Amino acid sequence: MHVTLLSGPNLDLLGQREPEVYGTDRLSDHVRRARAVAEAHGWRLDHVQTNDEGALIDAVHDARGRSDALVVNAGALTHTSWSLHDALAAFDGVVVELHLSNPAAREPFRHTSVVAPVADGLVAGMGGLGYELAIEAAVRLVAARAHDGPGKEEP
C-alpha cells in the first residue's frame, strides 16, 4: 500500500517561516515522522514539495493508480486553486487535507478551502502531530473502504 504526501508553496521554509505559527521543525522532520507511521503499517510513503501549482497538480495525477491515499497540505493553494480541486476530484483513493495551523481560526481568506469538498477529512491545528495523525487517518480510511466499500468510511 502506498500514500503520497503533498506539500505546497512555502512549506519548504518550515522551521524558518513564521515559527510562532508553524513551529520550528523543518518539513523534513515532519516527513520523517509521517513516513515512520506509514511504515509501521507496512505502507510506503512518497513526498513531493513544490512551490508550483502546476507541479502540485501533476503530482496528484502521478498518484492516480499508484497511491491508495493522498495527504495534502497545499499551503495557500488550499484557499485558491480550483485546478487542484479538480485534480483531487479525479483521484479515486482517500484524500486527507492537512494543515499545521487551524485556518478556521486565522484570517478570513483562510476560512475557505477548495480542497475540503474533495477531501474525505481534515486534520488541522495540531502542529507537527498532524502529519502523523493524517497518515494514520489515511491508512485507516483506506482499510475501512476496503472492508465496507466506498461511502461507509467509519474509521
Known catalytic residues are 22, 99
Q: Are 126 and 99 in contact (CB under 8 A)?
A: no
Nearer to ligand DQA, 71 or 100 (CB): 100
Query: Whole-number minimum distance, CB 48 to ligand DQA, in Å?
Result: 15
Cα separation values, 112 from 41, 42, 119, Å: 33, 35, 14
Order of strands across the sheet that contains 44-49: 44-49, 2-7, 69-73, 94-99, 121-124
Query: Whole-number minimum distance, CB 75 to ligand DQA, in Å?
Result: 3
Nearer to ligand DQA, 40 or 104 (CB): 104
Nearer to ligand DQA, 35 or 99 (CB): 99
Strands 69-73 and 121-124 come out as unpaired
Query: Whole-number minimum distance, CB 153 to ligand DQA, in Å?
Result: 23
Give residues in contact with ligand DQA (CB under 6 A).
10, 73, 75-76, 78, 99-101, 103, 110
